[in-house]
Amino acid sequence: MFSAAAHRLAAELPDGAYVANLCQDRLNFSIAFAAAVLRGQISLMTSDRSPERLRLLAERFPGTYVLTDEAEPGNPLRQHVMRAAFDLTGVQSPNPIIPVDRLAAVVFTSGSTGEPVGHRKLWGALVERSRDAARRFRVGLARPTAIVGMVPPQHMYGFETTVLLPLHSNATVWCGTAFFPSDVEAALAAMAAPRVLVTTPLQIRAVLQAGVELPALHRVISATAPLFADMAAEAEQRWQTEVCEIFGATEVGSIASRRTIEGDLWTTYPRVRVRPGELDEEVVVTGPFATPFPISDRVDAPDSAHFRLLGRRTDLLKLGGRRASLAGLNRILAEIDGVVDGLFVPPADPDTTPTARMAAFVVAPDRTPDDILAALRTRIDPVFLPRRVVKVDRLPRNDVGKLPEQALAALRAQLDRA
Amino acid sequence: MPLDTHALAERDVAQLLVEALHLEISPDEIDPTEKLFGDGLGLDSIDALEIALAISRTYGFELKSDDARNLEVFASLRSLTQHIATHRTK
């Protein structure tokens, strides 16, 4: 039936080399993605659905249209709204053979200039990772498995685990909303065992703290941010399950996994290998159908199939599972009208304080903090919006225009005091 | 059924938001009709989880996505307060 719906939608899609899939509902998103593949259209996957982002995509990928399940009034591009129900009588739905080197999707991250960087996903790589995940976590192999995902389908992690994985395994995905702890309780109860919960550390914490009772869980999979062993242990104990993590990056997709309580050693997926990179403590990941890519953390790799993470490289920020370049954010801030100079200050302990937020200092004599915030709101991912924008007369830069450590520490102290 | 305890004031819920989210404003500064998410107060989905937790602890009931979306519970401090007042068990 899924296949029939995808074929039916594929026949209705407008022409266009590129399609921005903005479907809100997980099932619609999946059908839309499959339909685009059938039409040979390349799916642009962006979590940022602002008019500015869509215009930018259309500039870079001429002919882009929006495919969605709820009409978006602010959308500046051509739009196709998929219907809620399909008449599937008489639809032929042969299982297509898709070449491994077909470009199926482009997924975006923020680059150091603040502009989105697109990462090409070949069909072969997507299928390979799905099958690896299915085997590694024993999902949808011999028996059908139910998956409840608390992550959006546009983000690489949600895309792999809740859209692609069911296409290549015997898994069923919950397509209702599963965001609050009470939703998750209801969703899991509605699905038959064995059940897998696909989630993030923040959401595991929320579900644990809410104290909701979960039915028997085959496995919990977590990704997008480090999961601490004590929380994993509590989840394993409370929910009588195994808690595993996937390590990956939008650029390369999922590459490794571990069972969190077993320690800090990650095991790569089959045929994914790590080899030394150019910088100290750097490794480059290689895998079938994927471009070699350096992992952005500092890494120690005892062999080509295992590694440990040693800490982050300093320009890269991660908040709420989203990534940004600090240099990129600062550039965006400085380019706002009326901002003479500006600086984002990241939170001191983002991994241990889930609601930690950025702060920003600006030199902007004629603008108010609210003005700055409004300008930022249209330019950056909401999770990086500063909780406070502090106006100052000048930033304590040194002779070569840099902000020395002491000056940064003093700025931080100013935030704590105020 | 709403409890027959002190009436739930918008300020009580504003206080909960400020404390749960470590907002750097006072509860009185939250306009009861201003948007909570996106523009206005500028909260996001991570904040939504924290709010759900705080509501569960303080008022004894669980937020559900269907309620939150369908009834526009999160539209403003006013709508959130009304939702809590209707569903609280403590």
Q: What is the dihedral of CA B1, B6, B9, B11, to 10 degrees?
A: -130
Yes or no: say if A167 and A35 are a contact pair by the CB < 8 Å rule: no
**pLDDT beyond 60 at B1:** no
What band does B71 get if pLDDT is binned at 50, 70 and 90? Answer: low
**pLDDT beyond 70 at B6:** no
Dump pLDDT digits (tens) for A94-106.
Answer: 888 888 889 999 9
Q: How far away is chain A from the Cα of B1, in angstroms, using its nearest Cα? A: 19
Cα distance between residue A303 and residue A58, in whole Å: 43
Dump pLDDT digits (tens) for A252-277.
Answer: 889 999 999 999 999 999 889 999 88
Yes or no: say if B25 and B18 are a contact pair by the CB < 8 Å rule: yes
Nearest residue in chain A measured CA to CA from B38? A382
* Predicted local distance difference test score (pLDDT) of residue B82: 92
Nearest residue in chain B measured CA to CA from A179? B65
* Predicted local distance difference test score (pLDDT) of residue B4: 47
- Which of A24 and A311 is assigned the larger pLDDT? A24
Question: Quick check: ipTM above 0.85?
Answer: no
What band does A304 get if pLDDT is binned at 50, 70 and 90? Answer: very high
- Which of B12 and A95 is assigned the larger pLDDT? B12
The secondary element (H helix, E strand) that includes residue A300 is: strand A297-303
**pLDDT beyond 60 at A24:** yes
And the tokens for A60? Answer: 């870079």
And the tokens for B4? Answer: 């027959």
Q: Give whichever of A145-159, A274-288, A309-323, B68-82 has the largest mean pLDDT.
A: A145-159
Q: How far away is chain B from the Cα of A215, in angstroms, using its nearest Cα? A: 17
**pLDDT beyond 90 at A400:** no
* Predicted local distance difference test score (pLDDT) of residue B77: 94
| Centroid of chain to Cα B76 | 8
Mean pLDDT rounded to a whole number for chain A: 88
And the tokens for A380? Answer: 């950056």
B46 contacts on A by Cβ (under 8 Å):
202, 320, 354-355, 383
* Contact assignment for B62 to A388 by CB distance below 8 Å: no
A182 touches chain B (CB under 8 A): yes
Cα distance between residue A211 and residue A69, in whole Å: 34
**pLDDT beyond 70 at A40:** yes
pTM: 0.78
Residue A307, SS3 per DSSP: strand
| Amino acid making up residue A200 | T
Give the best residue of A26, A47, A177, A179 to mutate against chain B (max B CB count within 10 A): A179
Dump pLDDT digits (tens) for A106-134.
Answer: 998 766 556 788 999 999 989 888 888 88
| Amino acid making up residue B90 | K
Dump pLDDT digits (tens) for B14-67.
Answer: 999 999 998 888 999 999 999 898 777 888 888 888 999 999 999 998 888 887
- Which of A313 and A169 is assigned the larger pLDDT? A169
Dump pLDDT digits (tens) for A184-243.
Answer: 999 999 999 999 999 999 899 999 998 888 999 999 999 988 899 999 999 999 999 999
DSSP conformational letter for A3: H
* Predicted local distance difference test score (pLDDT) of residue A112: 56
